[in-house]
Structure 1
Amino acid sequence: MARSARTARSALAAGVAVGALALGACAPITTQMGYAPSDGTRVDFEDMQVRGLNLLVIATEEGGDGNLLGALANNSDEDVEFTLTASGATPVTVPVPAEETVYLGTDGEETLLGPVDTIPGGTLEATLEVAGQSETFYLPVFDGTLPEYADYLP
């Protein structure tokens, strides 16, 4: 009787292991999903040929100008124009050549967004449009409290 109980437990353990492997095989591979690895927001479009990367705003106060940081990537074979419209702010339009990435707010070249309609630490509802597509997202607003952003204040 002890042998049949051991056999039953072994069979149950093998069944559980096979079930766990089967469920694991059905799970999505999360390391292949797009994500924003930093403080900004990633904006993916349906065709994945164009996207916004690590988009955020650095501002000193609500109602003032903000420096838009991040990147706009165009992996298509045609030039495109991105337009970012944030709540209360004047739209910003950025041309991006085919197969290139344009970095915003870096190398001493500010991309100003203003007026910023929220306090630093808040978020702005924004829309990124390109090639007839648009995506709505939340754009985080930071100030110079973190040393890595102090040099980017407008």
Structure 2
Amino acid sequence: MLAACSGAPEEDTYAIANGVNAEVGEIEIRSLLVVSAAESEPGRVLGTLFNRSQEPVEVTIADPDDKVSVAVNGDSSHEFDTNPAILESVEDIPGSRVTLTISAGPDSQELQVPVLDGTLEAYRPYLPLR
């Protein structure tokens, strides 16, 4: 009989949905994406922000033309599916990726985020109206 001990398996965080995962300062970003009907149309940000700190953090999501900001309370989350954040115009077509700059306090990071449209039924309710 053989017996052995090993460490716990490593925890890899990956996006099982269509969005992007990242960490910016004390903010964890999960499943971030943009839903837009077409190129140059408004785009709605979807995903979740988690604040790991005890203090509120102002998070800004910016594309080349516009930005939206949200305050994420300490040790809490902000879900964009129930708290709409709309970018005025997404310059990339659905099916491509848009560059978003995420700023959280003094930290920032550029992310390549997918742009989806209403082809998948799950995203149709999130298409912004013009």
TM-score band by shorter chain is: 0.7 to 0.9
Q: Segments of 4+ in structure 1 off by > 3 A?
A: none
- Bigger strand fraction: 2
In 2, Cα distance between the equivalents of 1:71 and 1:93? 14
Question: For structure 2, which runs of at least 5 residues remain unmatched after alignment?
Answer: 1-5
The equivalent residue for 2:44 is 67
What's the CA shift string for 1:18-73, capped at 9, x where partnerless?
xxxxxxx7xxx5x502221210001113x5x3111111111001111011111111
Structure 1 residue 138 and structure 2 residue 112: aligned? yes
In 1, Cα distance between the equivalents of 2:84 and 2:27? 22
Count of matched residue pairs: 124
Q: Which moved more, 1:35-44 or 1:93-102?
A: 35-44
Shift, 1:97, TM fit: 0.4
Report the TM-score when normalising by structure 2.
0.86
Shift, 1:136, TM fit: 1.2
What are the equivalent positions in structure 2 for 1:1-154 lying under 5 Å apart?
29=9, 31-45=10-24, 49-86=26-63, 88-104=64-80, 106-107=81-82, 109-154=83-128
Amino acid at match of 1:118: D
Report the TM-score when normalising by structure 1.
0.73
RMSD (CA atoms): 2.0
In 1, Cα distance between the equivalents of 2:53 and 2:42? 32
- Bigger helix fraction: 1
Highest Rg: 1 or 2? 1
Amino acid at match of 2:116: F
Name the structure, 1 or 2, with higher relative contact order (CA <8 Å, separation 6+): 2
Amino acid at match of 1:33: D
